[in-house]
Amino acid sequence: DILDYLYGYINLNINIRAELLEEIIIIAVNALGNLFWYVSRAIGVLRAIYGAFGLLLRPYGP
């Protein structure tokens, strides 16, 4: 009886940990996706700014 109880408890514990790990992985993947999106947006903005300055400075350059 006690062994059955312990086995059930350990099994439940493992399941809860697996679900928590799954949630953490999903959250981490979402965070990485958001970070990638923000970085790509920032790069686009910087390229636009650099392009504008490049157009302004081009007549004075070679």
Report the predicted TM-score, pTM, of the whole model to 2 decimal places.
0.53
Place of tokens 């392009």: 51
Question: Letter for the amino acid at 23?
Answer: E
* Stretch among 9-13, 20-24, 32-36, 51-55 having the lowest mean pLDDT: 51-55
The arithmetic mean of pLDDT across residues 14-40, rounded, is 93
Give domain limits for the chain: 2-60
The arithmetic mean of pLDDT across residues 42-59, rounded, is 81
Q: Does residue 53 have a pLDDT over 60?
A: yes
Q: Does residue 16 have a pLDDT over 70?
A: yes
